[in-house]
Amino acid sequence: MKSSPTSILIVLFILGICPAFAQGKYFEVVSKKSNGSKTYNGYVMPANGQGYVVLSYQGKTKEQLRSAVFNYIKARPSLWIVKLSDRDERIEYGNFATIGDTSKCIVNLVSSTRVDVEPDNGQLKLYIGIFNQIYSSLYGTARFLISRDGVVVSENETPFNEYKFVQPDSRKEALAYPESVFDTNGKVVNPANKKTIEGFYDGYVADLKSYLDKNLK
């Protein structure tokens, strides 16, 4: 087949727009107007349209799955239990990790992540995103600490802030937020960071799944 300039342009166009519509395996970063609001906000939501991600383990009881999740947390030194609900029906664990540095995300992005797991007979429901907080700093040298209450600080008070998924309203201000995924109209302007953030949160599910697949015989 001969390649005409038009067909090359079409292919380039498709390749160009693909990252903007791509989504993570389990999670996607979306922009939405909250009720009654005129402005867009960004969220990390399960890609399946439900409020949670489901991992199926047919034949496994709720108790087996709960115990396996506890073992998983024990096996990962970077995870800690944040909260257990009454009778351990739900287990919430936390993690504090880097999403990407200045070479990957233009700025330094770190996430204080909360994963809420609800074991049931034959399946686990994973809630993620509600209490997560991403922080960003323009400074490549920024180092962060988290307290046991979840308060994040930077060493030597290096300037940082809560990550803005959506650029500020004013066009001038928006210039200083190249790491934002969306512009003020909710349009994707940074597909690379969208993909990086989705991949980062997908990693939590993938890691738990991989552990359970190996250890739940």
Query: Which residues form the interface with another protein (CB under 8 A)?
Result: 137-138, 145, 147-149, 151-154, 157-162, 172-177
Q: Which is nearer to another protein, 29 or 107 (CB)?
A: 107
Cα distance between residue 125 and residue 216, in whole Å: 16
What are the C-alpha distances in Å from 171 to residues 10, 168, 174?
31, 7, 5
CA-wise closest residue to 112 among 140, 159, 163, 152? 152
Q: Which amino acid is at 198?
A: E
Give the three-class secondary structure for 63.
helix
Q: Which is nearer to another protein, 26 or 135 (CB)?
A: 135
Dihedral sign for Cα atoms in the order 103, 189, 32, 48: negative
Q: Which is nearer to another protein, 1 or 151 (CB)?
A: 151
Q: Which is nearer to another protein, 15 or 151 (CB)?
A: 151
Task: Determine which helix (DSSP H) or strand (DSSP E) holds 74, and give its type and residue range.
Answer: helix 62-75
Q: Which is nearer to another protein, 81 or 145 (CB)?
A: 145
Instruction: For the CB of residue 167, give the shortest distance to another protein in the complex, in Å.
Output: 11
Cα distance between residue 191 and residue 167, in whole Å: 14
Q: Which is nearer to another protein, 142 or 212 (CB)?
A: 142
Instruction: For the CB of residue 215, give the shortest distance to another protein in the complex, in Å.
Output: 35
Cα distance between residue 148 and residue 83, in whole Å: 12
Cα distance between residue 217 and residue 118, in whole Å: 20
Hey, how many other C-beta atoms are within 10 angstroms of the C-beta on 4?
A: 9
What are the C-alpha distances in Å from 174 to residues 39, 98, 136, 150?
14, 24, 15, 29
Instruction: For the CB of residue 64, give the shortest distance to another protein in the complex, in Å.
Output: 34
Instruction: For the CB of residue 112, give the shortest distance to another protein in the complex, in Å.
Output: 11
Instruction: For the CB of residue 146, give the shortest distance to another protein in the complex, in Å.
Output: 9
Instruction: For the CB of residue 172, give the shortest distance to another protein in the complex, in Å.
Output: 5
